[in-house]
Amino acid sequence: MSSVSPLLFLILVPILSAVLVMAGANPRFTSILGAALNVLFFLAVAVFFNPAQADFQFVSSFPVVPQLGISFTLGADGLSLIMLFLSVIVTLAAVCVARAPLENARWFYASILLISAGVVGAFASVDVFFFYMFHELALIPTFLLIGIWGSGDRQAAAWKATVYLATGSFILLLGIIGLYLIQPEGARSFDLRQMVANAQAGQVPDSPVVYLLLLVGFGILVSLFPFHTWAPQAYASAPAPASMLHAGVLKKFGLYGLIRLAVPILPESVQAFAPILLTLLACNILYVGYCTIAQRKLDLMLGYSSVMHMGYIFLGFVALNQVSLTGASLMLLSHGLTIAVLFALCGEIRERTGTLDFSELGGIARATPKLGLAFGFAAMASVGLPGFVGFAGELLVFFGSFASGEPQMGFLDGKEVFGFNGYQIATICAVWGIVISAIYMLRAYRRVFMGPLSDRWSRLPDLTGLPHAAIVILLAIMLFFGFFPQILVNLVTPALLLP
């Protein structure tokens, strides 16, 4: 039993803010104050974090079901610290960008804050059970946010997302129970550290069934092809803050979970099922990529693009080496920041014009230069241009995955020649994916911001105030880590437990 972890405050601040908002405090002011306070709390935690130490820090534990080895254990290492950073900063941006709806502003802000508490709790949990539980905290707020304040066909989108996510999470629950049951009797625990220690001692049989349950469960949550169909519609319909938190942070939960659980505990299964996962992620990149090009509305296009980019991170995961996993971790952060900015800007445009149809928009960069510039930055970052942190991530993933697997040698006319193995073919598909994403991002930019400005849009107001500040901060972080990715690499390296 140790003292109370400072990470507990990171979880409690949004929950308490939500309670205050429900109890009658000024919703917008309280939410922004709470989110800002959480960023400060996080910075304080980060200052005291010792990057040289490999193990979890700020650990505190409270037994909940001792019979089954479940305890409420909080802690952070380099990887979770990065995810926590992403969570608190995107939360702040989301509440700054949020437009208070005319009625029921209280539930609106309380729902956003509860999602935030869920993601912070998930990334701060060392206990796998609570890691799972906190993720599910977002389920009902998301349902309400999309269903009440969404746009377009919001009811269908909310139902679809909810049923998909509930199914995925219960399959995941089976995977987690399976992970618990393959631990040796007597040393069974839901504590991640105990699980990894058992695995490293060679006491955990590498169970393909458990891996498949985890992969399908996490896969549905991360929108792995062919389980991705809920995502674009839900993100397109959800109000901007909900999409920012969901696509930016919450969805990273699945990949984070795979890197945390499958890599150290079930590495052989990861390799055994690599051909299947490589095929699926290639579909994520190519098939969903082409679907993205075909979209005629900005919100749906961004939804599809966020599904597509998950393919890269899956590639980094399945290649299972130091370089690729580091790249995948970096991409978790970079994609989260990028898609959050893009959805925030998308929401701003919808707020101003009431439509996101490419055919109706055009030339609005003339009326709103700051908005146009910010979108341009974010689009470039999404494509993976050097100077943004996404570039570092993608590069590491490509290098890592290309080097993975056995070299395939074949014979051509009796001579031994070099051939590509599955990892390398998938990498080539992924590199082609960059071309695809450049096509749709630039096309979208041209359709929305370039070209002749119609009279309808000539008086659009530009970005101002808090939303402006929030978007600038997110872009600045992307640029900063784009120039100094080594900071992130140093943080992540000790946290990645390679088999």
Partner 1 sequence: MIQPVLLEIGVVFLGIFLLMMESFSFKSNKVTLAHWAIFGLVCVFILSFFIETNPVGMKNSGFYLVDSLSLFFKRFALLATILTLILAIDYIPIVQRLVPAERPEAGSGEFFILPVFTCAGLMWMASASDFIMIFCALELVTISLYIQVAYTRRSLASLEAGTKFLVLGALSTGFFIYGITWIFGMTGETNLALIQKNLSIVPEANHTAILFGLAMVLVAIGFKIAAAPFQFWVPDVYQGAPTPITAYLAVASKAAGFVILIRVLQPFFVLESFQDKLILVLVLLAALTLIYGNLAAIPQTNFKRLLGYSSIAHAGYLLVGLAAIGDAFAGRAVVFYLGGYFLMTFLAFLVMVPVTKATGGDDLSHFNGLARRSPGLALAMLIAAASLAGVPFTVGFFGKFFIFEAAMNQELYLLVLIGVITVASGFYYYFKVIRAMYWQPAPEGCGEVAVSPLSKLAIGLCTLLILVLGFYPQLLIRFLP
Residues near partner 1 (CB under 8 A): 63-68, 72, 103-104, 107, 132-134, 136-137, 139-140, 143-144, 147-148, 155, 159, 162-163, 166-167, 170-171, 173-174, 177-178, 180-181
Name the DSSP class of 178: H
The radius of gyration of the chain from alpha carbons, rounded to an integer in Å, stands at: 22
Largest CA distance in the chain: 80
- Closest approach, Cβ 136 to partner 1, in A, equals 4
- Closest approach, Cβ 166 to partner 1, in A, equals 4
Nearest in space to 71 (alpha carbons), one of 12, 119, 130: 130
- Closest approach, Cβ 189 to partner 1, in A, equals 13
Nearest in space to 151 (alpha carbons), one of 2, 350, 411: 350
What CA–CA distance (Å, rounded) separates 499 from 497? 6
- Closest approach, Cβ 141 to partner 1, in A, equals 11
Q: Amino acid identity, residue 22? A: M
Q: Which is nearer to partner 1, 139 or 389 (CB)?
A: 139
What CA–CA distance (Å, rounded) separates 1 from 33? 32
Q: Which is nearer to partner 1, 135 or 309 (CB)?
A: 135
Query: Contact 316/389 with Cβ under 8 angstroms?
Result: no
Could you write out the DSSP letters of every residue in 254-285? HHHHIIIIIHHH-HHHHHHTHHHHHHHHHHHH
Count of residues making up the chain: 499
- Closest approach, Cβ 362 to partner 1, in A, equals 34
- Closest approach, Cβ 134 to partner 1, in A, equals 8
Nearest in space to 85 (alpha carbons), one of 193, 197, 10: 10
Q: Which is nearer to partner 1, 177 or 439 (CB)?
A: 177
Q: Which is nearer to partner 1, 179 or 315 (CB)?
A: 179
Q: Amino acid identity, residue 479? A: L
Q: Is the peptide bond before 101 cis (omega within 30 degrees of 0)?
A: no
Backbone dihedral region for residue 405 (phi beyond 0: left; psi -120 to 50: alpha; all else: beta): left
- Closest approach, Cβ 144 to partner 1, in A, equals 6
- Closest approach, Cβ 198 to partner 1, in A, equals 17
Q: Which is nearer to partner 1, 217 or 303 (CB)?
A: 217
Tell me which H or E stretch contains 15: helix 7-23
Q: Token match 């922004």: residue?
A: 32
Q: Which is nearer to partner 1, 45 or 195 (CB)?
A: 195
Tell me which H or E stretch contains 75: strand 70-76
Written as six digits, the tokens of 439 are 């096509």
Q: Amino acid identity, residue 216? A: V
Q: Which is nearer to partner 1, 65 or 276 (CB)?
A: 65
